[in-house]
Amino acid sequence: MRINKYLAECGFASRRASEKIITDGRVKINGKTVTEFAVSVEEGDFVTVDGKRAEPIHKHIYLMLNKPKGCITTTSDEKGRKTVMDLLGKKFEGKRIFPVGRLDYDTEGLLLLTTDGDLCNRISHPRNEITKTYIAKIENEVSEDELNNIRGGVILDGVKTKHCRVSVLEFDGKITRLEVVISEGRNRQVRRMFETINREVIFLKRVGVGELKLGGLGRGEWRELKPKEIEYLKKV
């Protein structure tokens, strides 16, 4: 890439203004002053302006998807099953976008996707205990005693789950609708927590990750995160 374009991508100045910075002799590539803007910058070159390192700002992509049930949370599938990437369409083809954490095949709802590996690691790290809010449906009425078991922690794979919040939103005579808030991200955690009390989760939807909410985003639809949402995630 030409040095004037490179500097513009570093956020220093417009391409035109970058040309002046170059002709003024303020730019060095690998320690050598360059005064011609036709010079190219190669991968691995060390570029400075007035002695300060100039690196391109890579604009990361941050998306929220409402994953429908019946698709898998992966970037590709050997068996040719539908993946969450298929729902993004062509706009991001060739971009290294990956999902943040996982929702199982039958679970729907809020899934974050990004090109920002650092952010992805931070959100997924158990130390950060970012909350995940789910709506779960279970047949028949569920008693407070049963829920207290789940709230206090149950053993999954030999390890107790952390305390979590479970509240009954509604019982319509047939089905109990619950809100479940957990701060871990173990494999199929919500479904397996209820299996320990012999209850089957017949519907599961993630509606929140930390302060981010799914809101009115339609099934299978995605949107870019708002600057405020990105700022929030970076502080988690």
| Span near ligand URA by CB under 6 A; candidates 5-13, 14-22, 29-37, 103-111 | 103-111
Options 77, 86, 104, 145, the catalytic residue: 104
Q: Exposed, middle or buried: residue 67 (CB in 10 Å: 0-12, 13-18, 19+)? A: buried
Type of residue at 175: I
Q: Which of 189, 205, 212, 214 binds ligand URA (CB under 6 A)?
A: 189
Residues 6+ apart with CB under 8 A from 30: 45, 46
The answer to whether residue 116 is catalytic is: no
Cα–Cα distance for residue pair 72/67, rounded to 1 Å: 9
| Span near ligand URA by CB under 6 A; candidates 24-32, 40-48, 183-191, 227-235 | 183-191
Residue closer to ligand URA, measured from CB, 34 or 136: 136
Cα pseudo-dihedral 229, 59, 56, 2, rounded to 10: -160
* Binding flag, residue 176, ligand URA (CB under 6 A): no
* Binding flag, residue 195, ligand URA (CB under 6 A): no
SS3 98: strand
**Residues 228, 231, 234: CA angle, nearest 5 degrees:** 155
* Binding flag, residue 104, ligand URA (CB under 6 A): yes
* Binding flag, residue 107, ligand URA (CB under 6 A): yes
Q: Which of 15, 28, 122, 188 binds ligand URA (CB under 6 A)?
A: 188
SS3 43: coil
* Binding flag, residue 190, ligand URA (CB under 6 A): yes
Residue closer to ligand URA, measured from CB, 26 or 205: 205
Q: Exposed, middle or buried: residue 194 (CB in 10 Å: 0-12, 13-18, 19+)? A: buried
Q: Enter the tokens of residue 74.
A: 């992966």
Residue closer to ligand URA, measured from CB, 95 or 125: 125
What's the closest the beta carbon of residue 207 comes to ligand URA, in angstroms? 12
Q: Which of 26, 191, 199, 205 binds ligand URA (CB under 6 A)?
A: 191
* Binding flag, residue 103, ligand URA (CB under 6 A): yes
Residue 233's CB is within 10 A of a number of other CB atoms, namely 23
**Which residue's entry shows tokens 């319509």?**
172
Q: Which residues form the catalytic set?
A: 104
- Report the interface residues with ligand URA, using CB under 6 A: 103-104, 107, 188-191, 204
